[in-house]
Amino acid sequence: MWTRLTNWLHVWDLCFQQMPTVLLEYIVMQRQLRWLGHIIRMPSNRLPRRVLYGELIHGSRSQGGQKKRFSDHMKAILKKCHIPTDQLESLAADRSTWRDTCRAGLDVFMTESNQAAEDRRTRRHATVTTTPSGPCCHICNRVCGAHPTLVFEVISGVTRNN
């Protein structure tokens, strides 16, 4: 029970001053990697593990764009986090090793994501110094490319009578 009343905005500010900004994708990937480790440590007769490692017995997948399976999605996440898929079983067998591997992989993902965002921001805010091209006005020698009729007037040398 709270001993004194506090404004919820004050609580919100306290929480976010102490906690760094984390991408939502980071949190989702963290939970999915945690669940993957849990599934791998399950006995082989459990349904989630059978579904993870299961293949189609009859038939085949149709051509074209397929719906992504959980295992395909997890392979993409493991690739983003630079976690080797060939050592997945041995890493996930020990909980503390798996936890450390996931933290290190997610830190790599966060670093790369922040770097990519900074690169995009730098490209977006870079000053582009290109010289404008187009026909030049015969009177003031400035490039005139604003309106098609003005361009026509500059090219033909015709002036409007106002």
Q: Is the pLDDT of residue 87 over 50?
A: yes
Between these two residues, 130 and 1, which has the higher pLDDT value? 130
How confident is the model at residue 14, as a pLDDT?
Answer: 65
Query: In this structure, are 36 and 82 located in the same domain?
Result: yes
Mean pLDDT of all residues in 117-137: 77
Query: In this structure, are 135 and 121 located in the same domain?
Result: no
Q: Is the pLDDT of residue 63 over 90?
A: no
Query: In this structure, are 134 and 113 located in the same domain?
Result: no
Query: In this structure, are 25 and 85 located in the same domain?
Result: yes
Split into its structural domains, the chain has a count of 2
- State which amino acid sits at residue 118: E
Q: Burial code of 71-102, b = ≥16 C-beta within 10 A, e = fewer?
A: eeebeebbebbebeeeebeebbeeeeebeebb
Backbone angles phi, psi at 146, to 5 degrees: -80, -50
Query: In this structure, are 119 and 137 located in the same domain?
Result: no
C-alpha distances (whole Å) from 4 to each of 7, 13, 69 are 10, 17, 50
Query: In this structure, are 43 and 74 located in the same domain?
Result: yes
Domain contains 2: no
0.75 surpassed by pTM: no
**At a CB cut-off of 8 Å and minimum separation 6, what does 58 contact?**
none
In the chain, the percentage of residues whose pLDDT exceeds 70 is: 67
Domain contains 16: yes
Query: In this structure, are 101 and 30 located in the same domain?
Result: yes
Between these two residues, 75 and 158, which has the higher pLDDT value? 75
Q: Which domain, by its residues, includes 162?
A: 130-162
pLDDT digits (tens, 9 = 90+) for 6-51: 677 777 666 666 555 667 888 899 999 999 999 989 998 888 888 8
